[in-house]
Structure 1
Amino acid sequence: MIRDITIGQYYPAESKLHGLDPRVKIVCTLLYLISLFLVQNLLGYLLAAIFLFMIIRSSRVPVKFIVKGLKPIIMLLMITVVFNLFLTKGGKVLLAVGFLVITEQGLRTAVFMAIRLIFLIMGASIMTLTTTPNALTDGIERLLKPFGKLKVPVHEIAMMMSIALRFIPILLEETDKIMKAQLARGADLESGNIIQKAKAMIPILVPLFVSAFRRANDLAMAMEA
C-alpha cells in the first residue's frame, strides 16, 4: 500500500500533457482543486469527473496506476465520511439509532467530501505524474518570479516546494523497506488494539526519522558543494 501513493511520482510517457508548460499545469491544477470546494451540486461534480477523465486520457497514464493511488487514503476517506455523516445536522432525519442520527444534509456533505477528496488526490497526482522534477521547479519559480521584486527568495522557495513534493515517494519507499525489515524480524503490525498498533509503529518511525534527517543532510551538503 505504501508504494501505491502516486503523488510526487513521475510517469514517463509521450503525451501533449507531458509537453505542456508546467506553469499552465500548476495554475490549472490549483484552479481545479479550488473549484472542487466551490461546487455544491452533483452536476458540478459530474462535470469535474468528465474533465478529470479527459485529462487522464490525454496524459496516457494508465487509469489503474492513478486509481491505485487512492488505496492509501481509504482509511482517511472512511473517517471523513463517518464524521460528516453523523456530525452534520440539518434537513430531514433519514435514520436515528440511539444517539446516532443521519440527516439529509449529513448524507449530502459526506458524499460530497468523499468525492472532493478522491478528485483532489487524482488531480494532484496527474500534475506530478506528467511533470519532471526540474520542470516543476522551473514552473514554480517562473510563477513566483514577480515576487522577486519584493526581495522574496523565489528560487529557494521553488526548490524547497519541489524537493518537498519529490521527497514523498522517497520517504514512502524507505518506509516500505523498514516495514518489510521489521516484519522479517517477526514484528506484528496488524493485530491488537489501537494502542498496541501505535506501539508497534515505534520501531518503524524511529529509523524512518533518522533516515529522513540523514537524507536531508546529504541533500543539503550536495547543494552546498
Structure 2
Amino acid sequence: MNIQESVAFVTGANRGIGKAYVEALIQAGIRRIYVAARNADTLGDVVAISPDRIIAIALDVTDPDQVNAAAQMAQDVTLLINNAGVLGSGGLFTPKSVETAQWEMNTNYFGTLSMVRAFAPILKRNGGGTIVNLLTIASVVNVPVFSSYSASKAALYSLTQGARAELAAQGTQVIGVFPGPVDTAMSEGVPLDKVAPIEVAKATLHAIEQGLEEVYPDPVSQSVFANLQAPLKDIERQFAGMLPQ
C-alpha cells in the first residue's frame, strides 16, 4: 500500500499512540486523515498538525449509530487504524471487576468489531485497503495485573485473525500491532522500559507499505514473539484455509 495515495481513519486519535499515528502519516505524505475521539474538542492539537488534511470526528466506538455515521462521512477511506482502547484497574476479584471487564470488552473488542464491519465495504469499494488493529503482548499471554484487559485484547487478536481470513478475498490487508509497554498515560504505572509512541506508529507504517501482517515494534515485543511467531502463523493459515471458497 502506498501511504501517499491513501486516506486514513484513526480512532482514539487525541493522544498517545493515536496521535503518533497521525503525526507519522502526515510525515509520510498521506492525502487525508479522519481523526476520531469520543470528545471532538480534545482533537484540536491533532488537527493543528495539518489543518488542511485532517478532519475531526466525534466518535464513541461502542455506539453503533456513531460508528455508522462516521462510516457514511468517510466514504473515501482506504486505511482504517483501530487504536481506540481502554484499560481498567484491579484484578478479576475486585468488587467492580465484572463491570470493568464489560467496559474493556465493549470498547476493545466489540467497538473494533463494529468499526471493521462498518468500514470493510468501504475498503472493498476503494480497492481493498488496509485495517490496522492495535493489540499488545497481553493479547497472547495474560498479564495478571491487567487480567480482564488482557482477555479483551486476546479476543481482539482472535478477531484480527478472523477478519484477515474473511477479508482476504476482497484484497483487504489486516495487520495486528503487538507493542510491549509504550510511554503513554495508559501505561504510566507499569514499571518497565517503554517505547515511544512514534516508534510504534513508524513500525506500523513500514508494515503497511511492505504488506506485513504483524508488527513487533519494540524489544519486549520482539522477545515475547521470538519463538512464537512461526508456529502461530502456521496454525492461523491452516485454519484460514477451512473457509468455503
Q: TM-score band (shorter)?
A: under 0.3
Normalised by the size of structure 2, how large is the TM-score? Answer: 0.25
Larger Rg: 1 or 2? 1
Q: Which has the higher contact order (CA 8 A, sep 6+)?
A: 1
Normalised by the size of structure 1, how large is the TM-score? Answer: 0.27
Q: Which has the higher helix share?
A: 1
Q: Which has the higher strand share?
A: 2
